[in-house]
Structure 1
């Protein structure tokens, strides 16, 4: 298995730098079910942030990208079930931040009673509990 950094994934999806995108594409196309690429939750959060902020990828497109990453046998996405659940919350709310959704769903998967935050928006839309 080969770990994939955010910048490799972004170059692959964005295809915005001729040299780096070509290298990223070659690497991604060389991955197999026997030798997959590994996408950590941290890298995934960064990919969502970069593609959304820098490239204008909307929530539905982001859902499609992440769903395709989870579905392919050539990639292993860390805690894929938790990522799917966070993605559903993210897409359902126009204000939810993917990182907040993943933090809350990761806490839930770890059997936390709840996740606290000072962020009012995260409390309202990502399922966290506001710490007062």
Structure 2
């Protein structure tokens, strides 16, 4: 299997297409590798950083970010470790008020037996998976 990891900035260029030269390089490489049967690892840190970059640097709305995440999660060539946790985190992000990273942290903590995740983030108040301090 031909497996290559993707860094956040390559994924951003591929999705946003804002820097013509880098977008062309990223798109060409991803499409060529995919045609040849290759796959790309998009790990949890990359997903969390992607959401942060799209929200903070590109002012993407929650809906736009959610749509981008959904496309990534559905792309067969993107191998996502802990895919089921990423899907659950995405579902929580769509319904909740917290950040995608907060929901991913909570899902990972749940998997390891944590009953709640402690946080100072007031946006998570009322979510039974978090205890706001």
Q: CA RMSD in A?
A: 1.9
2:90 to 76, 87, 98: 87
CA distance in 2, matches of 1:40, 1:17: 23
Matched residue of 1:55: which SS?
A: coil
Question: Does residue 92 of structure 2 align to residue 71 of structure 1?
Answer: no
**Aligned counterpart, 1:5:** 7
State the match for 2:52 in structure 1.
Answer: 49
For residues 46-86 of structure 1, give each alpha carbon's deviation from its aligned partner in whole angstroms, at most 9, with x where no partner exists. 11011111212222222221122121111111211111111
Structure 2 unpaired stretches of 5+: none
Aligned match of 1:22: 24
Distance 1:126 1:84, change over 3 A: farther
What are structure 1's unaligned runs of at least 5 residues?
Answer: none
Deviations 1:11-55 (A, max 9, x none): 111101111110010122123384200001101111101111121
**Do residues 116 (structure 1) and 118 (structure 2) align?**
yes
Count how many residue pairs are aligned between Structure 1 and Structure 2: 130
| Counterpart contact for 2:116–2:128, Cα < 8 Å | no
Task: Answer whether contact 2:51 2:100 (CA < 8 A) is retained.
Answer: yes
Q: SS at the partner of 1:13?
A: helix
Using the size of structure 2 for normalisation, the TM-score is 0.86
- Normalization by structure 1: what TM-score? 0.87
